[in-house]
Amino acid sequence: MASSLIGSRVERKEDKKFLTGKGRYTADINLANQTYAYFVRSPHARATISKVDISKASKAPGVVRILTGDDLAKDKIGGLIAGWKIVSQDGTDMKCPPHPPLANNTVNFVGDHVAIVIAETLDQAKDAAEKVRVDYKVLKAVVNTGDAMNSKPIHDGIDKNLCYDFLLGDKGKTDEAFSKADKVVKLDLVNNRLIPNAMEPRAAIGDYNSSSEELTLYTASQNPHLSRLILSAFNAVHPEHKLRVVSPDVGGGFGSKINAYAEDVVVAWASKKIGKPVKWVAERTESFLSDNHGRDHLTHVELALKNDGKITGIKVDTIANLGAYALVFATVTPTYLYAPLLLGLYDIPTACCNVKTVYTNTAPTDAYRGAGRPEATYVVERIVTEAAKEIGMDQAEFRKKNFINKFPHQQCLIHNIDSGDYNAHLDKALELSDYKNFENRRSQSSAKGKLRGIGFSTYLEACGIAPSAVVMSIGAGVGLWESAEIRFNATGNVSVFTGAHSHGQGHDTTFAQIVSEKLGVPIENIDIMHGDTDKGPFGMGTYGSRSLAVGGTAIVKACDKIVEKGRKVAAQMLEAKPEEVEFKDGEFIVKNSNKKKTIEEIAFACYLPGTYGDIKSPLPEGVEPGLVETSFFDPSNFSFPSGTHICEVEVDQDTGETKVVKYTVVDDFGTIINPMIVEGQVHGGVAQGIGQALYENTHYDESGQLTTASYMDYTMPRADNFPEFKLGFTSTPATSNPLGAKGCGEAGTIAAPPAVMNAVIDAIGEDISMPATSEKVCNALRKNKKSKEAA
Amino acid sequence: MQNVSIEINGKKVSREIEDRTLLSTLLRDILSLTGTHIGCDTSQCGACVVHVDGKSVKSCTLFAADIHGSKVTTIEGLANNGKMHPMQEAFKKLHGLQCGFCTPGMVMSAVDLLKNKKNPSEQEIRDWLEGNICRCTGYQNIVAAVKEAASKM
């Protein structure tokens, strides 16, 4: 090959279908004899159900079947699960309520599933759903995160609505550090609840074939293999070997498509009951009501400092809102994905974090882009900023004084950080953002009557979530390795199967670049396949910025096996010893000779091993025909991307309108395969992070009604909300995988909220909570003005 | 029910449809043109944007019967004899899409912008696309793609 594909801006292989309207999302699939499903959902946040009367609805035109929680129970369909067991500080296991896919006799959030109405058309299903009569006895709902522990339990047997009371760190040592501190800085913080809002609403189609007894579930999922496992092992919908889960093109996930949802279970099971395909597509309001939400923390943080600016300890108390039930990654998100990251990228000798995770009558929360790490980064980057102000140090200098600067570094909580150079990305960001001239820009804004502020966020992320031995020891229900299979076809092109799943990340291209680089096969002759449990080996799917570091490495390992087998075959064909054969740029060459075979020739030979005329069989004795290799990669450690974000905002003093006017990002993602794709991930992540800081908020009223259940009420960031983001990169390759990749999918969302809020607070001189809406900013400015006048 | 005739992507189509049938329903469910997407129910997201008589509209907010006799272009009809439109090419070149769900509406909307304004500024592009929500790209490469397409058209 002329030049390396690693690090090349290769245009995406998957784009043409999307650009010409030929993408195939779940809602685009229509099957013969298909029926349409509509869910009857609870209009109440908390109620008991005495009766679900379907008699009138069943007689409505076009109705095929109506199924309720009773039917589900009769068929012994299991409940939805929490995939990660967390142990409380007193040694007791977390407490999880039953979570039937259709309500038994209680509903616990507005949108909770009560019945499925199946009809010949969607309109008929909707019409009939209005005729389903549910006798609810409405109970007082518990809505607010802060009230949950002081309210009566919403689930039987779960005192104080507490799922667990988790403690990480050394309380004694931390208290000692605080007693010896010169200064202690304190903050109370709210991490606002968000709704992920992938643009493709969730959808699911169950398709049962009564002759073959095969059940196919088409679903918009980030991890079809895991869904299949859950649906067979826990929900007992169908045996795993007869269940196929297909996630075709998926229109964004951001964590909201990790779970095996109630709708997945119910349409799959319903299709078995009626012997016809059952199709369900969420309306946007259904997505708002029933997709997993994210964040929703209340936190008190304290930081211990020496007068010279050295941080000596951090203490954090958090209440995290699980919503009505515990979902797959919901219990680990505010614990092991959160607490260890509260140290940020700082050398903090001691820490202690308590997380009380509570149930409320709101939609369940789970991993949303970043999952725990944005919440942690918000805490540490806000308090560090306040600490620098308290000490009177420059934000950059304060951070540098406390950065970890020797690697590997064992943090006082969990992580052993293999690599990084935090000064490098901070310095580069200072330069790119023209930090030294900020005060000039502040004056220019001031001359226009605008308040300008600057905010820093230096972040550390733990991603490429693994290794299995570690995650299972802290409660994971599964290992978090990843699989790959490389299948050389006889004609020399390559089919690659990955257990990861692409729903916008561009795996079809990035993974093909890796295979092309490793095997010397042209990129157009490589096809990446994912999203169908019948095609590739079991895999864990895509979340936690793990696909390249874990899934990409599985591909590398499988490529290595291909080369090793190919070397043996080439040696036989070229009449040399395997150790004399080198592989380079797609050719097996006998050292110091001109004897060589291309990998395509070797692949062909592997599929035609017989002796033909004078041509001897190319396969050495004991080597099987075919050229297919599989690898399951389980890394030795997490990977640790880091970076610096610097945000500048301008605030209109009259209206409170806050605009991000300058945004600089420098990330260290280790090795980058396709910079164009990585930049896209950063842009999107930063936009979501700015969304949380300035625009997005989920609001339940006192009775538990979601008042932000459409795009009319929930503010999604739009094109005119952003300036052009300025990006830069530094690189310290990860040592835990041979690619050196660290992961880039979530970094923007993790780092941006504190950068923006630090800038807003710098501009207005008042502490306010996210999102910094015009109203809040305006009120803060008035308060500020009043207090100045009073002084 | 009523009979509606529309020219869609250059082909005349006549169908007996219910009065309440939305243009997006006609396209997706009756004509199987699934490139037009439904991302919300409130005319906010713009995933359903198509052209009716050359102007971009949100097809989820239009009764099919109301545009009887019109010419409709959907994302499937934008390429010419298999050659992608310069806007489609620019989106590919500059990574203006990730999951692809908002893309058809975004492209159709952007094409309409350039019909009205040959060389829009960055702010004009951002303002125009305010009615199309993308959750993946942060809009930056979409804006760059529209500029690129403008320079090629």
Tell whether B91 and B65 lie within a shared domain: no
Half-sphere exposure of B145 (CA within 13 A, CB side): 29
Q: State yes or no: pLDDT of A479 exceeds 90.
A: no
Tell whether B96 and B122 lie within a shared domain: yes
Answer yes or no: do A284 and B122 touch at CB < 8 A: no
* Closest to B72 in 3D by CA, of B50, B103, B102: B50
Tell whether B94 and B51 lie within a shared domain: no
Q: Which of residues 5-24 of B touch A (CB under 8 A)?
A: none
CA-CA distance, B84 to A520, in Å (whole number)? 30
Confidence at A3, pLDDT banded by 50, 70, 90: low
Run of H or E residues at A410:
strand A409-410
Answer yes or no: do A284 and B40 touch at CB < 8 A: yes
Domain final residue, candidates B77, B95, B125: B77
Structure tokens at A578: 């395997």
| Interchain contact B132–A (C-beta under 8 A) | yes
Q: Tell whether pTM > 0.90.
A: yes
* Closest to B85 in 3D by CA, of B56, B110, B58, B48: B110
Backbone torsion region of residue A151, taken as left when φ is above 0, otherwise alpha when ψ lies between -120 and 50, otherwise beta: beta
Q: How would you list the strands of the sheet with A297-305, edge to edge? A: A162-169, A351-359, A311-323, A297-305, A183-191
Q: Which of residues 236-295 of A touch B (CB under 8 A)?
A: 249-252, 254, 283-285
Supply φ then ψ for residue A615, to 5 degrees.
Answer: -80, 120
Per the listing, tokens 């009939």 go with A128
Answer yes or no: do A719 and B125 touch at CB < 8 A: yes
Answer yes or no: do A21 and B139 touch at CB < 8 A: no
The distance of A568 to chain B (nearest Cα, Å) reads 41
Strand partners, A698: none
Task: Give the residue from B1, B40, B84, B121 with the most A CB atoms within 10 Å of its CB, the best one to mutate.
Answer: B40
CA-CA distance, A472 to A479, in Å (whole number)? 6
Residue type, A731: S
CA-CA distance, A425 to A459, in Å (whole number)? 10
| Strand intervals (E) in chain B | 2-8, 11-17, 49-52, 55-58, 71-73
Answer yes or no: do B136 and A199 touch at CB < 8 A: yes
Domain range for B119: 86-152
CATH number for B34? 3.10.20.30
Q: Which pLDDT does position A2 carry in this prediction?
A: 42
Supply φ then ψ for residue A709, to 5 degrees.
Answer: -115, 20
Q: Which pLDDT does position A470 carry in this prediction?
A: 81
Run of H or E residues at A305:
strand A297-305
Answer yes or no: do B98 and A506 touch at CB < 8 A: yes
Tell whether B71 and B95 lie within a shared domain: no
Instruction: Please give the share of chain A, as a percent, with pLDDT higher than 70.
Output: 99
Contacts of A358 (CB under 8 A, 6+ apart): A145, A148, A149, A160, A161, A162, A163, A319, A320, A321, A322
CATH number for B97? 1.10.150.120
Give the residue from chain A lying closest to B141, CA to CA: A680
Contacts of A300 (CB under 8 A, 6+ apart): A186, A187, A188, A189, A316, A317, A318
Least CB-CB distance to B91: which of A19, A23, A724? A19
CA quadruple B62, B63, B65, B66: dihedral sign: negative
| Interchain contact B135–A (C-beta under 8 A) | yes
The residue-averaged pLDDT of A396-405 equals 98
Read off the pLDDT of residues A215-274 as tens digits, 9 standing for 90 and up.
999 999 999 999 999 999 999 999 999 999 999 999 999 999 999 999 999 999 999 999
The distance of A448 to chain B (nearest Cα, Å) reads 19
Read off the pLDDT of residues A339-389 as tens digits, 9 standing for 90 and up.
999 999 999 999 999 999 999 999 999 999 999 999 999 999 999 999 999
For residue A170, CA distances in Å to A93, A167, A414, A429 come to 20, 9, 12, 35
Instruction: Please give the share of chain A, as a percent, with pLDDT higher than 90.
Output: 93
Residue type, A85: K
Residue type, A777: V
Run of H or E residues at B149:
helix B140-152
Tell whether B52 and B110 lie within a shared domain: no
| Interchain contact B149–A (C-beta under 8 A) | no
Report the interhelical angle of B103-116 vs B86-93 (nearest 10°).
120
Confidence at A610, pLDDT banded by 50, 70, 90: confident
How deeply is A187 buried, as exposed, middle or buried, from its count of CB atoms within 10 A (0-12, 13-18, 19+)? middle
How deeply is A710 buried, as exposed, middle or buried, from its count of CB atoms within 10 A (0-12, 13-18, 19+)? middle
CA-CA distance, B61 to A183, in Å (whole number)? 60
Domains of chain A with CATH codes = 31-139+215-246+257-274 (3.90.1170.50), 297-465+637-790 (3.30.365.10), 481-633 (3.30.365.10)
Read off the pLDDT of residues A705-725 as tens digits, 9 standing for 90 and up.
999 999 999 999 999 999 999
* Closest to A346 in 3D by CA, of A216, A473, A457: A457
DSSP summary character for residue A330? T
| Interchain contact B44–A (C-beta under 8 A) | yes
| Interchain contact B37–A (C-beta under 8 A) | yes
Give the residue from chain B lying closest to A711, CA to CA: B44
Note the helical H segments in A158-213: 171-179
Task: Give the residue from B101, B122, B123 with the most A CB atoms within 10 Å of its CB, the best one to mutate.
Answer: B101
For residue A234, CA distances in Å to A156, A239, A343, A699 come to 22, 11, 36, 33
Half-sphere exposure of A610 (CA within 13 A, CB side): 2
Tell whether B71 and B100 lie within a shared domain: no
CA-CA distance, A287 to A310, in Å (whole number)? 46
* Closest to A405 in 3D by CA, of A386, A424, A387: A424
The distance of B70 to chain A (nearest Cα, Å) reads 21
| Interchain contact A712–B (C-beta under 8 A) | yes
Domain final residue, candidates B18, B43, B77: B77
CA-CA distance, A259 to A250, in Å (whole number)? 14
Q: Which pLDDT does position A473 carry in this prediction?
A: 82
Tell whether B69 and B126 lie within a shared domain: no
Q: Which pLDDT does position A683 carry in this prediction?
A: 98
Supply angle C-alpha B1, B64, B129, rounded to 5. Answer: 160
Tell whether B65 and B122 lie within a shared domain: no
Contacts of A757 (CB under 8 A, 6+ apart): A378, A382, A455, A693, A768, A770, A772
Task: Give the residue from A20, A501, A674, A746 with the most B CB atoms within 10 Å of its CB, the best one to mutate.
Answer: A20
CA quadruple A372, A374, A375, A377: dihedral sign: positive
Q: Which pLDDT does position A608 carry in this prediction?
A: 84
Q: State yes or no: pLDDT of A212 exceeds 70.
A: yes
Answer yes or no: do A724 and B132 touch at CB < 8 A: no
Per the listing, tokens 């009065």 go with B19
Q: What is the mean pLDDT of chain A?
A: 96
Give yes or no for a contact between B140 and A723, defined as CB atoms under 8 angstroms apart.
no
Q: Which pLDDT does position A354 carry in this prediction?
A: 98
Give the residue from chain B lying closest to A195, CA to CA: B135
For residue A250, CA distances in Å to A199, A202, A305, A325, A334 come to 10, 9, 47, 25, 27
The distance of B68 to chain A (nearest Cα, Å) reads 23
Tell whether B95 and B125 lie within a shared domain: yes
| Interchain contact A687–B (C-beta under 8 A) | yes
Give yes or no for a contact between A360 and A323, defined as CB atoms under 8 angstroms apart.
yes
Give yes or no for a contact between A709 and A773, defined as CB atoms under 8 angstroms apart.
no
Give yes or no for a contact between A483 and A632, defined as CB atoms under 8 angstroms apart.
yes
Q: Which pLDDT does position A714 carry in this prediction?
A: 98
Strand partners, A243: A215
Read off the pLDDT of residues A42-75 as tens digits, 9 standing for 90 and up.
999 999 999 999 999 999 999 999 999 999 999 9
Q: Which pLDDT does position B55 carry in this prediction?
A: 97
Residues in chain B with pLDDT < 70? none
Per the listing, tokens 């009319």 go with A712
For residue A500, CA distances in Å to A221, A348, A547 come to 11, 35, 6
Total domain count for chain B?
2
| Interchain contact B101–A (C-beta under 8 A) | yes
Read off the pLDDT of residues A749-784 as tens digits, 9 standing for 90 and up.
999 999 999 999 999 999 999 999 999 999 999 988
Tell whether B61 and B7 lie within a shared domain: yes
For residue A125, CA distances in Å to A26, A60, A435, A459, A768 come to 19, 9, 59, 49, 46
Q: Which of residues 63-82 of B touch A (CB under 8 A)?
A: 74-76, 78-79
The residue-averaged pLDDT of A661-686 equals 98
Supply φ then ψ for residue A55, to 5 degrees.
Answer: -60, -45
Domain final residue, candidates B29, B48, B77: B77
CA-CA distance, A627 to A111, in Å (whole number)? 50
Contacts of A528 (CB under 8 A, 6+ apart): A13, A496, A498, A502, A507, A508, A511, A512, A515
